Amino acid sequence: MAAYRKLEPLYKAGTFFGIEETVHVHVHPTEAVAVIDCFNLEDRPLQKDVEFAPQAFGLPADCEYRFEGVPSRAASGRYFLHFDVPALGHRQAEARRA
């Protein structure tokens, strides 16, 4: 519950983007912060790579971002995130201005 409380403004007042059925982005209403949620609806573990371009979600493109929760790498203003998601589970990445 503490993790949710920390990110509550993103979920309640932020902007929601459904990238695909199992990947969602929530962007903070006033700060350069986003949460990327990746869900696994299968009964076996899943590896998923997600491309995240901050400007596509209304975030400033003139800065770098750091990610918590999953491995990431940057290339040409975009970020590539790697999610290891347990069976019927969820993994979350938090993006913040570096």
Task: For residue 13, give the CATH number of its domain.
Answer: 2.60.40.1180
How many domains is the chain built from?
A: 1
| For residues 47-64, average pLDDT | 96
Please name the helix (run of DSSP H) or strand (run of DSSP E) that holds residue 58, with its range, or none: none
- Of 8 and 95, the structure prediction assigns the larger pLDDT to 95
The predicted model scores a pTM of 0.91
Cβ proximity of 61 and 95 under 8 Å:
no
| For residues 52-77, average pLDDT | 95
- Of 5 and 37, the structure prediction assigns the larger pLDDT to 37
Burial of residue 3 (number of CB atoms within 10 Å: 0-12, 13-18, 19+): exposed
Q: How far apart are the C-alpha atoms of 68 and 3, rounded to whole Å?
A: 13
Q: How far apart are the C-alpha atoms of 23 and 44, rounded to whole Å?
A: 17
**What mean pLDDT, rounded, does the chain reach?**
93
Instruction: Determine the structural domain holding residue 90 and report its residue range.
Output: 2-97
